[in-house]
Amino acid sequence: MENLRTGITKLARPTLLLALLWNVPISAAESRQPYEATYQGRYSGLEITATRSFSCEHQDTDTKLNNCSLSTVLEAALGTIAEESLFRVEDRNIEAQSYRYDQRFFLSRRSRSIDFNTPGAVIYEDRHGAKTIPIEQPYLDNLSYQYALSLAAINGDDTVEIPIIRRGKTDLLRFVREGSSEQQINGETISTVRFIQRREDKDKTIEVWLAPALAGVMTSIRYTEDDSSYSLNISSLKFL
């Protein structure tokens, strides 16, 4: 397991290393270990590479509140897609702050953003302008919901429901834990769990694999809709 041990902070090293050695779930606190991961995959027949970065900072030393950032950059022959989510975490509670999406293909550029800081509403903005979406409960975005799944994997949850705002619309993602498998990460065999969402109203499936013993890191993701499929599989992981 030497490759996966490199870069783990001294504070969390004993707990996380024991988890690596014995392949047991770690606590939610260690799920905030900063890391960088790379993924390889395919989209519409194109080879794609993705880089994911995650980090957290204590907002107040007297509390368990953390300001966290999760970002991805997806690169293909035709262009790039960049996403960034900022959110607060306290124990298992996640509070979204902002989300940004930027797509560049050839001479085309599309971007959209979500601001979660207005009480009772979120501000969604894209090329058509900005609009206010009234909300009665907390919502997550297209990246912070994946961190929520990481916590669910660590906690051993069988089902998880996540209110989400995507492309200016509210939705409810319901994932069910179905099965486990082993994946190669940095040359080591790591156990992963799979969460799957099937939409009865749409021919669409989302499958996410996560490693509970590795801070809940997402190891694979696969979107299937109609006859098209998009997938990413982890190729390297480094704790910072």
Q: What's the pLDDT at 218?
A: 96
So where are the chain's domains? 2-239
β-strand pairing of 188-199 with 217-225: unpaired
Report the C-alpha gap between 50 and 142 in whole angstroms: 15
d(CA 140, CA 45): 30
Along the chain (240 residues), what's the average pLDDT of each consecutive run of 10 residues? 35 36 44 91 85 89 83 92 95 92 87 96 96 94 95 93 93 93 90 89 86 93 82 93
The class of domain 2-239 in CATH terms is: mainly beta
E-strand stretches of 91-203? 93-105, 108-115, 121-126, 129-134, 159-166, 169-185, 188-199
pLDDT score, position 10 = 32
Q: What is the pLDDT of residue 228?
A: 75
CA dihedral 236, 142, 91, 28 (to 10 degrees): -20
Q: Are strands 79-90 and 188-199 parallel, antiparallel or unpaired?
A: unpaired
- Which pLDDT score, from 0 to 100, does residue 78 have? 82
User: In one letter, which amino acid is 186?
Assistant: N
Q: Are 56 and 89 in contact (CB under 8 A)?
A: yes
| Residue 137 identity (one-letter amino acid) | Q
Residues 6+ apart with CB under 8 A from 41: 47, 48, 49, 50, 230, 231, 232, 233
pLDDT at position 30: 60
131-166: b (≥16 Cβ within 10 Å) or e:
eeeebeeebbbbbbbbbbbbbbbbeebeebebbbbb
Contact yes or no for 196/9 (Cβ under 8 A): no
Return the ∠ at Cα 148 (arms to 147 and 152), rounded to 5°. Answer: 115
- What's the pTM value of the predicted model, to 2 decimals? 0.83
- pLDDT score of 105: 81
